Amino acid sequence: MKPLRAKLLLLLAGGAALAFAIPAMGQGEKGPESLLPPGFGEPPPPAPKAPPSDSPATPSPASPAPALPSPAAPPPADPLRIEDAAAEDLEALALQALPPPIEIPEGSRRPTNPVGVLRPGNWGLGLDAFGTANGRFLAGLMGRLNAPLPSRWTSILLRRALLSEAAAPPQVNEVDWVAERAWLLLRMGEADSARMLVQAVDVDRFTPRMFSVAVQTALATADPAALCPLVGPGRNVSDQPVWPLADAMCASLEGDAARASTLIEQARRRTGGGIDTLLAQKVIGAGTNTRGAVTIEWEGVDELSSWRFGLASATGLEIPGPLLNRAGSAVWAWQARAPMIPLEQRIAAAERAATLGVFSNASLVEMHSLLADRTDPSEIEASIGGRLRRPMPAVRSAIGSTRCATCGGRATTVTAA
């Protein structure tokens, strides 16, 4: 026990001597004063450099310990160089990986064949509507079809055929076949019908053709939020410029304003701005926790693309009539059902949609009735809604005594009571 106790006393005496030696070594040369407020510790001094290989490895115990060099003063900062730590943080936010898609159990997956919403009991054409026709031929025929059709009744019948729950014809990819049906419905002005077909297929089964049609469907229905499930898997399929802008809009709709601002700024630097980027920024400004206000000017815009229509309609912007006329009749039908556009601006589009067969007469009458409810009572009589409210005159048939010279029978005269 005595040798062990003697060793402990020697070890404690050596530690005390080292504690007294460290302050003495620091008094030889005074280092720079700390600028940190009280409570923040001093940074640890740099470790001493390792001796060269040809020098002795360690000093002898009898030699005094060398004094530690004081840290050198930092060079004066360049007054013209300003580091923006916030910008670096935002850049890091933009590089964050998207969350992995939700895995769907095999038992919950929806079939890709057949796909449709109309069954024989609801005006559908049946599972064998397309028979054994060549699928590639039918897809090419639909792609070359000039839509919208000249007859509204033909358009209604074709809509029922495309929406029928029918098996895909042979020699064509099942998902591509659904995409071709949805694309033809879009060109006919049937945006809601096309969306029903696109949403009937799981996103992880989309083909490149289906991704393209799904983007067009989201824009035709003025629903930028429908692009959000497509951004992650869509980037793995194509490098279209729609994905960075859609990513920025979806970040804003999800409440991540910082990431949305960074992404839209990167897109502006990459594309140079323009009407398409401004419209995306308009959608971002409509999200939560954002403070951006964008004014859209249509001067100089000579073409109305689906991107411009979809984002402008989603934010309630009025699109000039000349741009709509150059875009085609299908775009008028898209505008007639856009919910964010004021009702007064959709009446003319609804009348065109009714001539195409997209709107029924009941839908058109309902729109005029809603507009009549907002009309001043002194002006309602001259409006279409006022005329629709008038009672229909009673009609009676009178058989005249004159004979028809061409038909050999009596002429029927209809008079209003």
Residue 113 pLDDT class (50, 70, 90 cuts): confident
- What per-residue confidence (pLDDT) applies to 274? 87
pLDDT band at 305 (very low <50, low <70, confident <90, very high): very high
Please report, for residues 80, 180, 191, 194, 253, the alpha-carbon distance to residue 183 in angstroms, rounded to integers and kept in the order given.
Answer: 56, 5, 9, 7, 27
Query: Distance from CA of residue 246 to its chain's centroid?
Result: 4
328 confidence band (pLDDT: 50, 70, 90): confident
pLDDT interval class at 86 (50, 70, 90): low
pLDDT at residue 80 greater than cutoff 50: no
Percent above pLDDT 90 for the chain: 33
Percent of the chain with pLDDT over 70: 66
- Cα of 149 vs its chain's centroid, Å: 30
Give the pLDDT of residue 140. 92
Of residues 191 and 392, the one with the higher pLDDT is: 191
Residue 309: which of 379, 218, 202 has the closest Cα? 218
Domain boundaries, the chain: 111-221, 224-334
Say whether the peptide bond before residue 45 is cis (omega within 30 degrees of 0): no
Which helix or strand (DSSP H or E) is residue 395 part of? strand 395-403
Q: Which of 3-7, 55-59, 211-215 has the highest mean pLDDT?
A: 211-215
What is the pLDDT at residue 185?
96
Q: Grade residue 212 by pLDDT with cuts at 50, 70 and 90.
A: very high
Cα atoms found within 13 Å of the Cα of residue 219, Cβ hemisphere only: 23
Mean pLDDT, the chain, whole residue set? 76
Higher pLDDT, 105 or 282: 282
d(CA 144, CA 152): 19
Q: Give 296's contacts (C-beta < 8 A, 6+ positions apart).
A: 275, 278, 279, 282, 312, 317
Give the pair of three-digit tokens for residue 259: 């990431």
Q: Could you give the CA distance from residue 197 to residue 220 in angstroms, rounded to a whole number?
A: 14
Residues 6 or more apart whose CB falls under 8 angstroms from that of 236 comprise none
- What is the structure's pLDDT at 100? 57
pLDDT of residue 243: 92
Distance CA 42, CA 106 (A): 59
Distance of CA 291 to the CA centre of its chain: 19
CA distance 397 to 74: 106
Residue 314's pLDDT is 93
